[in-house]
Structure 1
Amino acid sequence: MPVDQIPIGTFSRITRLSQKALRLYDERGLLVPAARDICTGYRYYTYAQIERGIHIRHLLWLGFDLSEVETILSARERGDAGMIRDHFARRLAAAEQEIGRLHAIAEVLRTQDPLNGGFRMSITEPVIKDIPAMRALSRRERGVYQEAIPGLIGELCAYVSPADGRQPAAKMTGPIMFICHDEEYRETDADIEVAIPITGSVNLEGTAAEVVTLPGGRFASVLYTGPYPGVGKAYERLFAYMGEHGLASAGPSRELYLNDPAEVPEEELLTEVQFPIQDLPPSA
C-alpha cells in the first residue's frame, strides 16, 4: 500500500469522523476517497484529505447541516468569502436564539415552582363573552409556531407603527392576536394567522398583509398571566369549563397578547385565550 494511502479506519481516528459518516460523505461527493481497492471496495484517503475531513467535522460541530457544509466548502474552494460570512452570520443568529431559549429554561428550572409545571402563573375563571365581528390587518402562512408568530407580528407592527417615520398603513384598535387554524398541534407546516384589529382607511401598498373580517359570536375566555410556554394551562382550564357546561368549539382559537414582552417581565405577560363556542346537542 502506498505511503500516502490511509485506510478508512485510520482516517476515521484522525478526523474523528465515523466510518459510517465517511461512507455517507463519499456517496454525497463531499469527501471522496482518493483510492478504492478493486477487489474489496475498501476506501483509502490521502494526507491532503485530512484537512477537509477536519473542516467537515468542525462545521458540523458548529451546527451546520450537511447541505450547508457542502455549500461552505464549495465557497471556500472558490474563494467566495461573502457567501461563507452569510452562512456564519445566519448560524450565529440561530445559536444566539437557542442560547436565549436555554437561558429561559435555566431560569425556570432555577426559580419556579416545579409542582405547577415550572411556571409562575395565574388563570382567571372562564367567562362567556359576546364579541362582535371586527376588521383586522392579517398575515397568514404555514410554518413553525415559534418562528412564524414572532415574524408575522413584526411584519404587522411595521405596518401600523413604522419605525422609519412613514405613514402607518392602518390605525390599530385592539391587541395583536394569534389565530390557530389547525385542529392538532403541528411541529412544522402549521396554519398560522396573526391579526391586528384596525379602523379607518388602509394603505397596503408594498405589503403582504390583507384586510379581513374576523367573525364574531359567543366566546369562552380566560386571562392567563405568566410566561408564554405555560399558556397551555389556560387551554386546559377552558376545555374543562366547556366540558362542564356542555359547550363545543365552533372555530379557531385565538390568543390575544395584552402587553409587550419587551416591556414587562415574563411572569407579568398577559394573554387572553378565546374559543368560539356553541351548545352541544342534547344526548339521545
Structure 2
Amino acid sequence: MQSFDPLTARLLVAVAQLGSIGRAAERENIATSAVSRRISDLEVRLGVALFDRSVQGVRLTAAGQIYVVGCREILRTIADLHTQMVDYASGASGSLRLACTSSALSGRLPELLARYAESREGIRLEIQEMSAARALLVLDDGQADIAFVADNNDVERFETTVFEDDKVLVICSPDHVLADRLRSSRSVRFDEVAEHEVVGIHHSGALDRLLSAAAASSGRSLGKRVNVETFSSLVRMVEAGFGIGFMRSTSLHLLAGTDLVHAKLADHWAQRSLLMVRRPSSPLSRPIRDFLSLASASYLPA
C-alpha cells in the first residue's frame, strides 16, 4: 500500500474546492503541471478516476467525493496533532510522573507540586508513593520521570540533585530520661541516645539501614521493643512510652499537637539529603524542565 501523501491530499482538496487545477496551483504556489501530475499519479495508484475533466474545469466523481472527505479528516487530524505537539513543546500540555518515598511526601514536595500545578493546568501529574528501591526500579524502567529518595541509596548511575535537607532527629516522650537532654540542646550525638530502647521504623528501609550501620560502627546493637512501618505510628508508640524514636526532619510536622521532645543528631552521617533522581539519557521535556527549575529555585539549605 502506497504511503499517504499530505501534500497531494492538500492539493486534491484545493482542486475540489476551487473546481480548477490552475487556480488551486496558484493558491498553493505550485506549478499547474505538478498539480495535474500528482492527481494523475494518485488516480493510477488508486485505480479510480477522482475528477471528471472538461473545458469548464474539473468536478469530483463519486469516488473522488469519498476520497476528499477522507483527506479532509486526515488533514484535520494532522493539524490537531501539530497543535498538540506545539502545546507539549511550550509546556502547556504533557505529564510529570513522580516516584516518591513516604519521606518525600512528608516534606515540602506536596506544597511545591501544588504551586507547579496551579500555573500548569494542562500538565497531568502522576504521583506514586513507594519504597526507595521500588522508586529507582520504576525510574530505571522508564515508568517515572523523577524519583525522590534518600541519599544513602545507590544512585551512582543516575543524575541527582538535592531536593531538601533531611537530617535525622531523635524524639522521646516528655517524661523519658533523655527529655531534659534533648530540650537543652539543638543536637545530640548518636552515642548519647543509642543505649535506650528504640521504636524501629521501616525494617531494612533507608533510615533503618542508616541507624543499623551507625550502631554497628560504635559496637552497639539497637534495642528495639517494637517495629512500625509509618512515621505516624512511630510517633504514637513513642508517645505511649515504648522508647525513643528516630525520624527524618521532613516528617517533623507529625509532632504537631504532641508534647514529644526532639533534637537533631549531630553526627556527620545523620546530615542527610533527599534527592531528585533522573536517568541521564531520559528525554528532558518542558514539564520536567519546569519542575526541576522550580524545585531548585525554591531549595534553601538548612
Q: TM-score range by the shorter chain?
A: under 0.3
Structure number with bigger Rg: 2
| TM-score normalised according to structure 2 size | 0.20
Please state which structure has a larger fraction of its residues in helix: 2
Higher relative contact order (CA 8 A, sep 6+): 2
| TM-score normalised according to structure 1 size | 0.21
